[in-house]
């Protein structure tokens, strides 16, 4: 069994792990971990310390990236940028601004490392378009120096920096170096140039560097480190006259990071991503409806894989290599084709998971142009086959030649979502446009109601009507215009028709977090609309005659009103239908599952969300009883 054959040094729950899983060759997903026995929802399957971990974008002198220097970072970034054929203006820009990576004065790493010049802030505001492989490839290349440091490197015995054992890396899969794949080519070419152009890499075999980066791309996973915890314990920032500016720039950058993988309400103070390579965790296969959830625990620096449903013996254990939030191309938003393209580009495989092979629920159904029946799209490609009459004549919305069809709507929603994350007030300007987009017009085909873009737009509009509009223009006006009711019905569509109906059963955790952005303002509106605040005004005591002239003891006279528990009032009639439907699903179906999944590892954030939902549920029950 595992124990005798392989190293379990990184595994925290060794007995549980070896009793629960086995490593097997599987038909569709290759070598993978499989359930040896039935597993229950909430069971921790693996708890593991990463073999190698580093920040995706290191800070100056971070003790987790001992070879980091701004100059070296910039050199590697420039090389990767210039190797990326998708950056159109590349050649032209390179001629105008020759990259420092081409210059001869390639100073040795010691001076790079020590001379973190404050004046050289050129990398803070990139003037050129950036490759989507930045910062992933430069960060992996820097991390390689932890395994194969330059001969002249000082021996570092830092608490955080341990030289990783090279032999462990034999255990990781990587695609062939000559694979016909743009990303593999980019990494191969960049590795060759880094080794030949940068002194600190001169001792390195370029193919070995390339294999390492490909192993990281193919096997490692991004985890979100808590910035506050890191700021205290792990990262030492340089102090300089530009400290404040640097902080502002990093905050801005982090905000941009969050834009790509974060939430609608993401803030610059969100978690900071790092890359973790796990000996065993990296053996789990990917699925777009996974049966495990990966949770990172910063205090113990461990990664825990917990079952998100009951799993039968012999099932391939999976977690998601894609973001589990509602960012586009993750598990909640986007199409099968979009997820597959992302996995192919960054992980080098065509996803063969059950969800990708079934029909694509996120593309919804649409009337067949031939037989008129409402029917579903097939999942794996853009081609479409009618379930009823098997015609392959695609409805207007999905025809590639339709300029205002699916591709157009996806592009618009993607662009809008990116803007909204930076500035939610953008929805103010976009409300009419969004409403137009989801309604049928002569020249614009209707978005099928179960297409992910339709659900997503309903979610944006719900946030606008329940939160942004009242905050900007006043609750009175919002209520006079009937916007609360509109928002509640949009929320019902987003939460129930989109998230619950299409995704909840297979992806409970991402759905729960995606739902929160709408649930949060919705619950606030309902709580406020079903209560009347009550105050106790202290009664002035009648004072005895003989003290009436004495004002030394009249402190009670000024006692402020005491706020009492609010008086619960009936749920407004117009709200009852959407609110009752939502609370019924969320409180009775979602919460028990979420509690089970998070039972093994306490999450303050999830506990807080659950408690708020439970209080809201109780309130709705009381308010309903008063109708
Ligand atoms: C992180 S590794 C998983 C472990 C790997 N099979 C090994 O032997 O080390 C990722 C690789 O596993 C395979 N794989 C994982 N999930 C898959 C999926 N859903 N569909 C197809 N292949 C998958 C692909 O070859 C992918 O490149």
DSSP letters, 119-161, are: T--GGGS--S---TTTTHHHHHHHHHHHHS--TTPPPP--SS-
84 shares its domain with 202? yes
Q: Is the pLDDT of residue 483 over 60?
A: yes
329 shares its domain with 226? no
Q: Which residue has the higher pLDDT, 146 or 498?
A: 498
Structural domain tally of the chain?
3
The label of the residue with tokens 């009419």 reads 432
> Atom of ligand 1 at shortest distance to CA of 286?
16
- C-alpha 378 to ligand 1 mean position (Å): 23
Q: Do the beta carbons of residue 134 and residue 82 sit within 8 Å?
A: no
Q: Is residue 383 part of a domain?
A: no
Of these ranges, 171-185, 413-427, 523-537, the one predicted with the greatest mean pLDDT is 171-185
DSSP bridge partners of 52: 277
Q: Is residue 376 part of a domain?
A: no
Q: Is residue 301 part of a domain?
A: yes
The H-or-E segment that residue 91 falls in is helix 90-96
What is the pLDDT averaged over residues 173-193? 95
- C-alpha 282 to ligand 1 mean position (Å): 9
Residues with a CB atom less than 6 Å from ligand 1: 28-32, 173, 218-219, 282-283, 285-287, 347-349, 351-353
d(CA 17, CA 21): 6
- Residue 442 burial by CB count (10 A; 0-12/13-18/19+): exposed, middle or buried? exposed
Per-residue confidence at 122, pLDDT binned at 50, 70, 90? very low
335 shares its domain with 346? yes
Which of the 8 DSSP states describes residue 358?
A: S
Of these ranges, 6-10, 61-65, 135-139, 382-386, the one predicted with the greatest mean pLDDT is 135-139
For residue 25, the domain's CATH number is 2.170.270.10
Three-state SS string across 374-408, please?
EEECCCCCCCCCCCCCCCCCCCHHHCCCCCCCHHH
499 shares its domain with 572? yes
**Interface ipTM:** 0.99
478 shares its domain with 587? yes
Domain end call among 243, 277, 311: 277
Q: Is residue 541 part of a domain?
A: no
46 shares its domain with 57? no
Counting residues of the chain whose pLDDT is more than 70, the rounded percentage is 76
The H-or-E segment that residue 19 falls in is helix 14-20
94 shares its domain with 58? yes
Q: Which residue has the higher pLDDT, 32 or 419?
A: 32
Q: Is the pLDDT of residue 264 over 60?
A: no
What is the pLDDT averaged over residues 146-166? 68
Q: Is residue 378 part of a domain?
A: no
What is the pLDDT averaged over residues 447-474? 91
Per-residue confidence at 553, pLDDT binned at 50, 70, 90? low
141 shares its domain with 30? no
Q: Is the pLDDT of residue 45 over 70?
A: yes
pLDDT of residue 444: 63
Domain end call among 277, 296, 323: 277
User: 305-324, pLDDT tens digit by residue?
Assistant: 999 999 999 999 999 999 87
CA-nearest residue, atom 13 of ligand 1: 29
CA-nearest residue, atom 8 of ligand 1: 31
pLDDT of residue 256: 38
Q: 135 preceded by cis ω (within 30°)?
A: yes
Which of the 8 DSSP states describes residue 11?
A: B
d(CA 364, CA 359): 9
pLDDT of residue 63: 58
pLDDT of residue 159: 54
Query: Exposure pattern of 38-64 as b/e (b: 16+ CB <10 Å)?
Result: ebebbbbbbbbbbbbbbbbbbbbbbbb
User: 424-455, pLDDT tens digit by residue?
Assistant: 777 777 788 888 877 766 666 678 888 899 99
478 shares its domain with 590? yes
Q: Is residue 143 part of a domain?
A: yes
Domain end call among 293, 324, 354: 354
pLDDT of residue 260: 34
What is the pLDDT averaged over residues 388-405? 75
The per-residue pLDDT of the chain, averaged, comes to 80
**Which of 172, 221, 285 to mutate to test ligand 1, by most ligand atoms within 8 A of the CB atom?**
285
Q: How far apart are the first and last CA of the chain?
A: 63
Q: Do the beta carbons of residue 359 and residue 445 sit within 8 Å?
A: no
Q: Is the pLDDT of residue 252 over 90?
A: no
Indicate the length of the chain as a whole number. Answer: 627
29 shares its domain with 100? no
336 shares its domain with 478? no
For the ranges 29-38, 96-105, 518-527, the lowest mean pLDDT is seen at 96-105
pLDDT of residue 552: 52
81 shares its domain with 201? yes
For the four alpha carbons of 540, 545, 550 and 553, in that order, the dihedral sign comes to negative
d(CA 323, CA 327): 7
**Which of 26, 30, 322 to mutate to test ligand 1, by most ligand atoms within 8 A of the CB atom?**
30
Strands 318-319, 285-286: pairing is parallel
What is the pLDDT averaged over residues 499-506? 95
In which domain, by residue range, is 606 found?
406-536+560-625
């Amino acid at each position: 069994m595992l124990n005798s054959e392989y190293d379990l040094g990184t595994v925290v729950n060794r007995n549980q792990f070896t009793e629960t899983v086995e490593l097997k060759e599987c038909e569709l997903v290759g070598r993978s971990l499989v359930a040896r026995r039935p597993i229950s929802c909430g069971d921790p399957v693996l708890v593991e310390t990463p073999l190698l971990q580093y920040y995706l974008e290191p800070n100056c002198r971070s003790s987790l990236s001992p070879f980091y220097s701004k100059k070296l970072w910039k050199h590697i970034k420039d090389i990767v940028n210039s190797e990326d054929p998708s950056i159109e203006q590349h050649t032209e820009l390179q001629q105008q601004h020759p990259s420092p990576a081409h210059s001869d004065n390639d100073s040795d790493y010691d001076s790079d490392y020590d001379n973190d010049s404050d004046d050289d802030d050129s990398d803070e505001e990139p003037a050129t378009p950036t490759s989507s492989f930045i910062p992933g490839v430069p960060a992996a290349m820097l991390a390689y120096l932890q395994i194969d440091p330059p001969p002249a490197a000082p021996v570092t015995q830092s608490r955080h920096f341990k030289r990783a054992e090279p032999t462990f890396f034999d255990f990781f899969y990587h695609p062939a170096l000559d694979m016909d794949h743009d990303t593999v080519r980019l990494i191969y070419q960049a590795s060759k140039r880094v080794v030949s152009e940068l002194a600190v890499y001169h001792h390195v075999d370029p193919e070995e560097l390339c294999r390492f980066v490909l192993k990281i791309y193919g096997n490692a996973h991004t985890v979100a480190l808590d910035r506050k915890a890191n700021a205290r314990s792990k990262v030492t920032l340089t102090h300089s006259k530009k400290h404040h500016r640097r902080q502002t720039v990093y905050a801005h950058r982090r905000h941009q990071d969050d834009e790509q993988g974060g939430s609608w309400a993401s803030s610059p103070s969100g978690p900071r991503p790092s890359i973790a390579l796990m000996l065993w965790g990296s053996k789990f296969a990917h699925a777009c409806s996974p049966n495990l959830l990966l949770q990172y625990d910063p205090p113990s620096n461990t990664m825990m894989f917990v079952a998100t449903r009951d799993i039968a013996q012999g099932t391939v254990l999976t977690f998601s290599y894609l973001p589990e939030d509602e960012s586009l191309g993750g598990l909640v938003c986007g199409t099968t084709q979009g997820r597959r393209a992302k996995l192919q580009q960054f992980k080098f495989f065509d996803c063969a998971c059950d969800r990708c092979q079934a029909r694509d629920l996120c593309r919804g159904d649409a009337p067949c142009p031939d037989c008129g029946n409402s029917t579903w799209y097939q999942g794996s490609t853009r081609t479409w086959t009618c379930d009823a009459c098997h015609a392959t004549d695609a409805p207007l919305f999905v025809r590639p030649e339709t300029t205002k069809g699916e591709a157009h709507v996806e592009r618009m929603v993607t662009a809008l979502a990116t803007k909204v994350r930076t500035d939610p007030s953008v929805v103010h300007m976009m409300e009419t446009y969004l409403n137009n987009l989801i309604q049928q017009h002569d020249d614009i085909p209707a978005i099928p109601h179960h297409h992910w873009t339709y659900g997503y737009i309903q979610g944006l509009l719900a946030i606008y009507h329940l939160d942004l509009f009242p905050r900007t223009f006043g609750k009175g006006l919002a209520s006079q215009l009937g916007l609360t009711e509109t928002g509640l019905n949009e929320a019902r569509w987003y939460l129930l028709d989109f998230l619950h109906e299409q995704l909840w059963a297979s992806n409970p955790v991402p759905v729960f977090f995606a739902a929160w952005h709408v649930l949060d303002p919705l619950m606030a509106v309902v709580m406020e609309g079903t209560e009347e605040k009550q105050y106790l005004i202290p009664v002035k005591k009648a004072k005895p005659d003989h003290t009436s002239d004495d004002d030394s003891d009249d402190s009670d006279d000024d006692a402020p009103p005491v706020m009492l528990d609010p008086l619960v009032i009936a749920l407004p009639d117009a709200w009852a239908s959407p609110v009752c439907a939502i609370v019924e699903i969320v409180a009775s179906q979602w919460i028990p599952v979420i509690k089970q999944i998070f039972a093994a590892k306490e999450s303050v954030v999830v506990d807080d969300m659950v408690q708020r939902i439970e209080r809201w549920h109780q309130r709705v029950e009381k308010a309903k009883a008063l109708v």
